[in-house]
Structure 1
Amino acid sequence: MQIGKSIRLERIFNRNTERTIIVPMDHGISVGPIEGLRDMREAVGDMVQGGANAVLMHKGLVRCGHRMEGRDVGLIVHLSASTSLSPFPNAKTLVGTVEDALRLGADAVSVHVNLGDETEARMLQDLGDVASCAQGWGVPVLAMVYARGPKVKDEFDPETVAHCARVGEELGADIVKVPYTGDIDSFGTVVDGCCIPVVIAGGPKLDSTRDFLQMVSDSIRAGGSGLSVGRNVFQHKNRVRLVEALHKIVHEDEDVDAALAYIGE
């Protein structure tokens, strides 16, 4: 592996555990300035304080609070976008380049692909093109790959999720983000079919902190490499403590009860 890519990956992954806690903050383009992301300096600061390994955001947000005096965290610049106002919200388009991300000091870039969408072909081409460009610069690529389209009956089906992970791997991503399949055994098959780190998405905001922590813990036990979760983290009522609890599960192999007690729930 290129030395530059190795160095950048170590800014995203804990070098001892080879796992990561990524907090996506790219929701503003999709749904606007939602709760938890109105003050970006505060949001990023809380994630850093809690011990997140990286945050993920669009290029224009980096100036709004990523680098703060005395604090640092890995930066992933997201290159895909669509809005909930569009008649085709699952059709992601590229809105940035690898070079844009490098100029901002990013450690990695990310691309979103929705398999099964009518515009799947273009999204696959975008991921392939970005991966080729990023390889030339030694920049890691995170592929967010989901199954969302007219023919998709269940986006959490283990075979479907394994297909998503494999697409990210085969098109040149260095990390792939997919939905959790619901249990350790089935998610283990997803991880086994992929030779790059697999991290889980958060999905809709969960009502139960325990359920969220259990999902993360189970994904780690299945061989996953951590999480890339937004709303279930930055919208939590005690988000700093939550990230600290996630750190204990992901990097210290704490059990869910101990992590939950740490939050005070």
Structure 2
Amino acid sequence: MYQSKKVRMNRLFGNGRCLDVAIDHGVCNEPSFMDGLEDMEKVVALLAAAGPDAIQMNYGQSDLLQNLPGREKPALVMRLDMGNPYNRFRHRDMWAVLQNASDPIAPALRMDAACVVVNLFMLPDEPGLFKQCVENIARVGQDCEKFGMPLMIEPLVMQPNSERGGYLVDGDAEKIVTLVRLARELGADIVKADPTSDPADFHRVVQAARCPVLVRGGGKADLRQVFANSYALMRQGAHGMVYGRNIYQHDNPARVVKALMAMIHDGVDDAEAWRIYEASGR
């Protein structure tokens, strides 16, 4: 008997909140994302010991987490797709494909994942890429319903590559809300959403989702500002975060995890989170 979505969701969301540390950046094929992920075995062991709710990985690296002994380890969130919108330049052909085209969620079932995640890219003048994402989600969604696997959709509204080059998110609340609403229409059980440019607008994203909303972290930023932004978004109704580079590219990722877990699960503000971060380094 396959697990129900509720059982798997319970593995992710302690008290309805979740910190998911994303280290699935290898399939982005963007060298700037890889700093800090050179030794995946070491990274996974360090993050698992730090104790976030989940670690987001691809199938080919997920054994590093699932082979760790003991029951007290983070849940596995498995990335199912890959694409080329992350690169610094715009390709002639923009694409997003499932990593296992013939049976998309089979790897997640084999590795006992608690959730799977798929992108929903919205790039200017790239309707074909958007169509591919919708087709991917439709394919994965059918299997998720069949096997009781929660589906996380990652709606990403991006700026034109010509603006500054590379993977740049458009924080326009109207665009984000519209795409998040579409993610829900497509069957999202969890939405991984970009922060709105004005955090005070983020409650509109939560309203549109009608399911748990985790904030996407993006590129590495000043940690105090990351904490301040995170707290502001939590106050707007976010259920947690999916942070990658803002954790694994810091000198001591475990300290960042500890501070964010206190914010997410204990309700501390950004100032207290910073104190926790500093105190854990002594």
Q: Using structure 1 for the length normalisation, give the TM-score.
A: 0.91
Measured after TM superposition, the shift of residue 86 of structure 1 is: 7.8
Partner of 1:181: 196
* Contact 2:79/2:118 (<8 A) preserved: yes
Instruction: Give percent identity, aligned residues only.
Output: 27
Aligned mates of 1:23, 1:89 — CA distance in 2: 30
Partner of 1:102: 109
Whether 1:259 aligns to 2:259 is no
Aligned mates of 1:92, 1:46 — CA distance in 2: 31
**Letter of the aligned partner of 1:170 in structure 2?**
E
Whether 1:93 aligns to 2:86 is no
Aligned mates of 1:200, 1:167 — CA distance in 2: 17
Partner of 1:125: 135
Aligned mates of 1:225, 1:88 — CA distance in 2: 37
**Letter of the aligned partner of 2:237 in structure 1?**
G
Whether 1:59 aligns to 2:59 is yes
Structure 1 window deviating more from structure 2 (56-65 vs 89-98): it is: 89-98
Partner of 1:230: 244
Partner of 2:257: 243
Aligned mates of 1:124, 1:149 — CA distance in 2: 19
Q: Gaps spanning 5+ residues in structure 2: where?
A: 164-168
Partner of 2:13: 13
Tell me, what secondary structure is at the counterpart of 2:62?
A: helix
- Out of 127, 147, 169, which is 2:157 matched to? 147
User: Could you give the per-residue CA deviations for residues 165-187 of structure 1, whole angstroms, max 9, x where no partner exists?
Assistant: 11111101100111101334201
Aligned-residue Cα RMSD (Å) equals 2.3
* Contact 2:44/2:64 (<8 A) preserved: no
Measured after TM superposition, the shift of residue 114 of structure 1 is: 0.5
User: Could you give the per-residue CA deviations for residues 70-121 of structure 1, whole angstroms, max 9, x where no partner exists?
Assistant: 3521111111112438826853211121122101111111101102333211
Aligned mates of 2:161, 2:182 — CA distance in 1: 17
Measured after TM superposition, the shift of residue 63 of structure 1 is: 2.1
Measured after TM superposition, the shift of residue 152 of structure 1 is: 11
Aligned mates of 1:88, 1:177 — CA distance in 2: 28
Partner of 1:72: 73
User: Could you give the per-residue CA deviations for residues 155-204 of structure 1, whole angstroms, max 9, x where no partner exists?
Assistant: 11001111121111110110011110133420111112221111111112
Tell me, what secondary structure is at the counterpart of 1:29?
A: helix
Whether 1:203 aligns to 2:218 is yes
**Letter of the aligned partner of 2:135 in structure 1?**
Q
Structure 1 window deviating more from structure 2 (118-127 vs 66-75): it is: 66-75
Aligned mates of 2:247, 2:55 — CA distance in 1: 12
* Contact 2:177/2:208 (<8 A) preserved: yes
- Out of 135, 141, 144, which is 1:134 matched to? 144
Measured after TM superposition, the shift of residue 62 of structure 1 is: 1.0
Aligned mates of 1:247, 1:67 — CA distance in 2: 24
Q: Using structure 2 for the length normalisation, give the TM-score.
A: 0.85
